[in-house]
């Protein structure tokens, strides 16, 4: 009996480290999933750079700043961060040495992330990420605007340090979606307009400006409320989920920074989490937009112009460069080729995204390792500012879109700063 007990005890002692290691692996794996939900790699990886080593330039009104090395390298990364240091950086925007991070780091959103998820993220970044020795790059912001101490006062005014709390009266899926959208997903960082102090005008659905769209880095991040024309009013929950999983649906296709979000983040999320995010977004009431009449498809006038394009400068460019993909009817071949008729990005008052995507094309969407078959090509070297203005204006007025025309000067401004 005693021998049997000793044998059992020995087996248990040998198994204990294996169990602990398995638990650690599971925690790291969960942290990896959460890091994808937060799309950390997109901002903290420079073009052709090593994952999470930083160096990606980000445009601000004061000059470019560069993302930091968040690998576990002890000298140049966050390898010396304790878990409390990590949480403070994530939630309060304060580095281990005490200096304030610029609020381009979305710590006002990450402040909502709960302790369990912070613990898993820390485990992943310390144990699941390859260390890279790469020094951080100073910003291009000139003195005295580059001083960081004013950020302390910014935080006092604009930072809410409370983690997300489930809203009473809302179901589990709605609360999960709200937590992901407002927290790790930090959707408001791009899709909510900024105030004079570069603060998001709202951090959740209690503010009328929340997710009503915002201009960032020469792209206009679209309205995600229930607004009929420029928002998600005509989208179903299934449409939203399809877009988050694949980057395209019957209404629109991803471009700009959103293509990176699809590639690195949302396509890797579980169906349940994507459904929860869709549920939450579709619950948001209509806000923003121009207040115009609801979009209604009308191809008559556009069809006449395309039949006789010689009489219309925009139609001439469209028939030469656009019609073979987006169609005479403007409906494209969704989801492979984006529709232009009724597309929320086309109807948006701010034409920045439409100009930018015409000049620069789109980053390849890579879903399940397979690149999209028909990415939007670049036309910056092919079309003049006036030709881009003509075709964009034609598209914005065609098929019942009814959006304002664009001038060559607007195209020139974006070409100057955004064309690679």
- Kindly tell me if the per-residue pLDDT of 383 is higher than 70: yes
408/140: higher pLDDT: 408
Section 36-62 average pLDDT: 92
What pLDDT is recorded for position 11?
47
Taking the CA atoms of 179, 183, 187 and 188 in sequence, report the sign of the dihedral they define. positive
44 in a known ligand binding site: yes
What pLDDT is recorded for position 146?
78
* CA 112/CA 163 separation, integer angstroms: 4
Section 267-295 average pLDDT: 95
- Kindly tell me if the per-residue pLDDT of 23 is higher than 80: no
Give which of 253, 205, 242 is closest to 225, Cα–Cα.
205
User: What 8-state DSSP symbol labels residue 168?
Assistant: T
- Kindly tell me if the per-residue pLDDT of 59 is higher than 80: no
- CB burial string 373-398: b at 16+ within 10 A, e below: eeebebbbeebebebbbbbbbbbbbb
* CA 266/CA 279 separation, integer angstroms: 15
What does the H/E/C string look like for 29-80?
HHHHHHHHHCCHHHHCECCCCCCCCECCEEEECCEEEECCCCCCCCCCCCCC
* CA 226/CA 294 separation, integer angstroms: 12
Tokens of 75: 């000298």
11 in a known ligand binding site: no
Cis peptide before 192 (omega within 30 of 0): no
Number of domains in the chain: 2
186 in a known ligand binding site: no
Paired with 253 in beta bridges are: 248
- Kindly tell me if the per-residue pLDDT of 320 is higher than 80: yes
pLDDT per position as a tens digit, 349-379: 999 999 999 999 999 999 999 999 899 999 9
Whether residue 326 is contained in a domain is answered as yes
Whether residue 171 is contained in a domain is answered as no
* CA 35/CA 52 separation, integer angstroms: 11
Q: How far is CA 334 from CA 63, 84, 274, 308, 363, in A?
A: 38, 47, 21, 26, 18
Range of the domain at 358: 300-418
CB burial class (10 A; 0-12, 13-18, 19+) of residue 61?
exposed
Whether residue 187 is contained in a domain is answered as no
Which residues, 6+ apart, have CB-to-CB distance to 407 below 8 Å? 389
| % of the chain exceeding 90 in pLDDT | 83
What 3-state DSSP class applies to 221?
strand
Section 254-269 average pLDDT: 96
Section 98-119 average pLDDT: 95
325 in a known ligand binding site: yes
| % of the chain exceeding 70 in pLDDT | 95
What 3-state DSSP class applies to 126?
helix
Q: Among 75-89, 142-156, 381-395, whose mean pLDDT is lowest?
A: 142-156
What pLDDT is recorded for position 9?
47
* CA 399/CA 295 separation, integer angstroms: 10
Whether residue 53 is contained in a domain is answered as yes
pLDDT bucket at 5, cuts 50 / 70 / 90: very low
Whether residue 207 is contained in a domain is answered as no
- Please identify, among 147, 163, 179, the residue that sits at the C-terminal boundary of a domain: 163
What pLDDT is recorded for position 202?
97
- Kindly tell me if the per-residue pLDDT of 6 is higher than 50: no
Query: Do residues 241 and 198 touch, judged by C-beta distance below 8 A?
Result: no
CATH of the domain at 407: 1.10.760.10
Residue where the block lists tokens 């229930």: 226
Q: What is the rounded average pLDDT for all residues in the chain?
A: 92
343/140: higher pLDDT: 343
- Kindly tell me if the per-residue pLDDT of 265 is higher than 90: yes
Tokens of 186: 């930090």
What pLDDT is recorded for position 3?
47
User: What 8-state DSSP symbol labels residue 373?
Assistant: S
What pLDDT is recorded for position 142?
84
What pLDDT is recorded for position 18?
42
Query: Do residues 223 and 257 touch, judged by C-beta distance below 8 A?
Result: no
- Kindly tell me if the per-residue pLDDT of 301 is higher than 90: no
- Kindly tell me if the per-residue pLDDT of 253 is higher than 90: yes
Whether residue 119 is contained in a domain is answered as yes
Query: Do residues 248 and 376 touch, judged by C-beta distance below 8 A?
Result: no
43 in a known ligand binding site: yes
pLDDT bucket at 290, cuts 50 / 70 / 90: confident
- Please identify, among 113, 131, 163, the residue that sits at the C-terminal boundary of a domain: 163
What pLDDT is recorded for position 179?
98
157 plus 11 within the same structural domain = yes
Whether residue 127 is contained in a domain is answered as yes
Section 86-102 average pLDDT: 96
* CA 263/CA 42 separation, integer angstroms: 9
99 in a known ligand binding site: no
Tokens of 231: 């928002």
- Please identify, among 140, 163, 186, the residue that sits at the C-terminal boundary of a domain: 163
Section 303-317 average pLDDT: 91
Whether residue 195 is contained in a domain is answered as no
What pLDDT is recorded for position 22?
52
pLDDT per position as a tens digit, 177-197: 999 999 999 999 999 999 999
């Amino acid at each position: 009996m005693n021998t049997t007990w000793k044998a059992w005890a020995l087996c248990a002692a040998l198994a204990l480290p294996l169990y602990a290691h398995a638990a650690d692996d599971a925690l790291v794996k969960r942290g990896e999933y959460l890091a994808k939900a937060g799309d950390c790699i997109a901002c903290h990886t420079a073009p052709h750079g090593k994952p999470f080593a930083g160096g990606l330039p980000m445009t601000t009104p004061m000059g470019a700043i560069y993302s930091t090395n968040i690998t576990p390298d002890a000298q140049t990364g966050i390898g010396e961060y304790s878990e409390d240091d990590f949480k403070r950086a994530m939630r309060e925007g304060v580095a281990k040495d005490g200096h304030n991070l610029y609020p381009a780091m979305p710590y006002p959103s990450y402040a909502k992330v709960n302790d369990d998820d912070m613990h898993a993220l820390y485990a992943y970044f310390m144990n699941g990420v390859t260390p890279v020795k790469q020094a951080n790059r100073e910003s291009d912001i000139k003195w005295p605007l580059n001083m960081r101490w004013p950020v302390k006062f910014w935080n006092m005014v604009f930072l809410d340090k409370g983690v997300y709390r489930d809203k009473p009266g809302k179901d589990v899926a709605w609360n999960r979606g709200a937590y992901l959208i407002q927290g790790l997903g930090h959707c408001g960082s791009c899709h909510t307009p900024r105030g004079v102090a570069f603060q998001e005008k709202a951090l959740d659905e209690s503010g009328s400006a929340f997710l009503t769209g915002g201009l960032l880095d020469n792209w206009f991040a679209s309205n995600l409320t229930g607004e009929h024309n420029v928002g998600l009013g005509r989208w179903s929950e299934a449409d939203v989920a399809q877009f988050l999983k694949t980057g395209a649906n019957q209404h629109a296709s991803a471009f700009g920074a959103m293509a990176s979000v699809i590639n690195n983040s949302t396509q890797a999320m579980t169906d349940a989490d994507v459904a929860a995010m869709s549920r939450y977004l579709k619950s948001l009431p209509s806000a923003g937009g121009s207040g115009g009449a609801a979009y209604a498809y009308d191809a008559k006038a556009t069809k006449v112009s395309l039949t006789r394009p010689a009489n219309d400068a925009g139609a001439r460019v469209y028939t030469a460069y656009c019609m073979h993909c987006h169609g005479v009817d403007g409906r494209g071949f969704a989801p492979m080729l984006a529709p232009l008729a009724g597309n929320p990005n086309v109807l948006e008052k701010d034409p920045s995204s439409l100009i930018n995507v015409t000049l620069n094309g789109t980053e390849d969407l890579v879903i399940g390792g397979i690149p999209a078959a028909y990415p939007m090509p670049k036309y910056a070297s092919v079309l003049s500012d006036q030709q881009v203005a003509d075709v964009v204006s034609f598209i914005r007025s065609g098929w019942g879109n009814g959006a304002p025309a664009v001038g060559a000067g607007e195209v020139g401004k974006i070409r100057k700063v955004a064309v690679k």
